[in-house]
Amino acid sequence: MKILITGGTGFIGRQLVNALSADNDITILTRSAGKAHLELGRQHRLLGNLSALSSLDGFDAVINLAGEPIADKRWTLEQKQKICHSRWDITTRLSQLFNASQHPPSVFISGSAIGIYGNHDDHTLIDESFDLTQHNDASHTDFAHRVCTRWEALALEAANSTRVCIVRIGLVLGLNGGALKKMLLPFKMGGGGIIGSGKQGMSWIHQADLVGLILFLLHNDKCSGIFNGTAPNPVSNKDFTKALGKALHRPTFLPMPAMALNIALGELSQLLLEGQYVYPNRALEAGYQFTYPQLSEALAALMQNQ
Ligand SMILES: NC(=O)c1ccc[n+]([C@@H]2O[C@H](COP(=O)([O-])OP(=O)(O)OC[C@H]3O[C@@H](n4cnc5c(N)ncnc54)[C@H](OP(=O)(O)O)[C@@H]3O)[C@@H](O)[C@H]2O)c1
């Protein structure tokens, strides 16, 4: 297959590109050829800008994961604009290109995040049938909700031309990027502990399962629409903390109070203090089999490779 991937140099994208490399002809949209060569070698085609294309004719599939990192910097107005427009502008252009194609690629897999569901204090499992429009409460003024709602709508503009799958990605567990990488050092030093109340849901997924799910959606013609990219067993922050401490054989006595995080991170602290318990109903119904459905096994497998 000829596949166009945006965000291919990122934490998830790199693993996806490696999984697809052997059997596919890959083009990576990147702002930096040097970074792409460093991360992925020189065997892939690179594209610097989508404006170089007038259609997607010739591609069989598009996977869209690009976006300014959401948790790297404080959410100033300027940073929020970057987070939004890096996703929205690329996705807008991709949908336009799908709709301008004589023979559009047969599938468009586009990223989103479980932050679209807003904050939910209770442990009720949220699946893809959750009606976002009926819950006009404060959670829906959340920044992550607003970013993702538009990001998804823009990807769905290609739906008349192709099969669109949106993956609402959860907390991706891997050692080379994402939240776990940031948590490892404090936990290893014995400084890990629950965050805020510890009751907030953490809907995690092992990196191999996220890549597996994307490949499953790529090849499964019957799949379209929204898919939660999370393991079937979300846990509370308290249980996540215990499991990570156990996997690292480290104590987890040091709590991180909500107020300290608010002061240190501002609005960005929402990502740590709030959560939701997300369930991947549609992936399971479609027949995707998780390699790591349980957190303890997922963490043990990752720590083995340290
Ligand atoms: N990791 C997670 O736990 C998680 C959870 C939920 C959702 N997601 C979503 O899944 C996608 C991939 O996640 P990831 O962790 O692999 O992200 P990542 O490592 O931050 O990589 C994203 C890629 O996007 C491109 N990018 C970054 N800033 C950009 C900007 N300002 N404008 C245009 N392109 C930009 C970069 O490619 P170049 O530098 O090559 O251009 C980068 O390699 C992201 O959209 C993220 O929001 C991730």
* DSSP per-residue codes, the chain: -EEEEESTTSHHHHHHHHHHGGGSEEEEE-S-HHHHHHHH-SSSEEES-GGG-S--TT-SEEEE-----SSSS---HHHHHHHHHHHHHHHHHHHHHHHT-SS--SEEEEEEEGGGG----S---B-TT--GGG--SGGGG-HHHHHHHHHHHHHHTTTTTSEEEEEEE-EEE-SSSHHHHHHHHHHHTT----BTTS-SEE-EEEHHHHHHHHHHHHH-TT--EEEEES-S--EEHHHHHHHHHHHHT------B-HHHHHHHHGGGGHHHH----B--HHHHHHT---S--SHHHHHHHHHHT-
What pLDDT is recorded for position 136? 52
Distance from the CA of 7 to the center of ligand 1, in angstroms?
Answer: 5
What pLDDT is recorded for position 305? 77
Q: What is the mean pLDDT of residues 15-26?
A: 97
CA dihedral 278, 228, 143, 84 (to 10 degrees): 160
For residues 219 and 108, give the distance between their C-alpha atoms in angstroms, rounded to a whole number. 11
Could you tell me the domains of the chain?
Answer: 2-172+204-231+277-290 (3.40.50.720)
Q: How confident is the model at residue 139 (pLDDT cuts 50, 70, 90)?
A: low
pLDDT averaged over every residue in the chain: 95
For the CA of 31, the closest atom of ligand 1 is 41
Choose the residue to mutate in 15, 93, 169 for probing ligand 1, maximizing ligand atoms within 8 Å of C-beta.
Answer: 169
User: Which residue, judged by its Cα, is nearest atom 27 of ligand 1?
Assistant: 68
For the CA of 32, the closest atom of ligand 1 is 40
For the CA of 9, the closest atom of ligand 1 is 43
Cβ of 65 less than 6 Å from ligand 1:
yes
Distance from the CA of 93 to the center of ligand 1, in angstroms?
Answer: 17
Q: How confident is the model at residue 134 (pLDDT cuts 50, 70, 90)?
A: low
The answer to whether the beta carbons of residues 3 and 60 sit under 8 Å apart is: yes
For residues 262 and 70, give the distance between their C-alpha atoms in angstroms, rounded to a whole number. 16
Q: How confident is the model at residue 122 (pLDDT cuts 50, 70, 90)?
A: confident
What pLDDT is recorded for position 133? 80
Q: How confident is the model at residue 137 (pLDDT cuts 50, 70, 90)?
A: low
